[in-house]
Amino acid sequence: MDNSPTALFDTYEQDFRQIVDSIRSKLDGDGRDERGEQRRAALRRVEMELDEADEMISQMEIEIQGIPQSIKPQFQTRLRSAKADLTRFKKMSKDLHTQFSRADLLGSPGRTGIPTSDEPYGQTSDRTRLLAGTTTLEDGTRRLQDSQRIALETEDQGAEILMNLRTQREQIENARDTLRTADTAIDRASGTLKKMIRRMYQQRVVTAAIIVVLVLLIAIIIWEKLFR
């Protein structure tokens, strides 16, 4: 398993590109060429894939925070390119929806969707659109819940990281205080040693002076006894 800091970003980007390729094929093919329910189904699939691509962008934005600063600019450029592609395809999808809605308004008056005894809920296409809309709503709700869960997990991880950083800062401050105390104690010990060395030299001088005096006294006493 690749544990590099860019592995997840690359994975999300690859998934994003696959989704974008699928969207492009639908917008350039099914979304333009098909008619009626097939066209609606193609555009609904595009909407779902756009939501998935948007989620991949969100994941890439999260992962880019952990990329080292030395290589981060190139990944930011790739992220901006992905966002630009997503914005472009969203606009294309919106334009196709607008064209399709205009075509419906200008279409045959026979497709009014008025309920009959055989079709109590209107035409079959209306029920299909209603079911498809319900499915899309459920998918959107699920994605929203997943995004909320990811956001909460990210928030918890961020809070834990901040707590760890706060603990490490307190440890560093305690270590700094300990070092300052040790420096103070060392300065005091150094001063005490200097005083002791100074006193030792003074005592040596005094001892030497006493010895000299005693030697002189002994010499004087000997001289007096020998020459008197």
Token reading at 156: 């918890």
Who contacts 32 (Cβ-Cβ below 8 Å, separation ≥6)? 96
- 134 part of a folded domain: no
**Residue 139: closest CA among 59, 30, 52:** 52
Instruction: CATH number of the domain at 197, please.
Output: 1.20.58.400
Are the CB atoms for 42 and 130 separated by under 8 Å? no
- 91 part of a folded domain: yes
Helix (H) or strand (E) holding 139: helix 124-227
**Which structural domain range is residue 55 located in?**
5-104+146-227
- 29 part of a folded domain: yes
- 24 part of a folded domain: yes
Distance in angstroms (rounded) separating the CA atoms of residues 23 and 164: 43
- 121 part of a folded domain: no
Per-residue pLDDT of the chain (228 residues; tens, 9 = 90+): 566 778 899 999 999 999 999 988 888 765 455 555 777 788 888 889 999 999 999 999 999 998 899 999 999 999 999 999 999 999 988 888 788 777 666 654 444 444 444 444 444 556 676 777 788 887 778 888 888 888 888 887 887 887 788 888 888 888 888 888 888 889 888 888 888 998 898 999 999 999 999 999 998 999 888 886
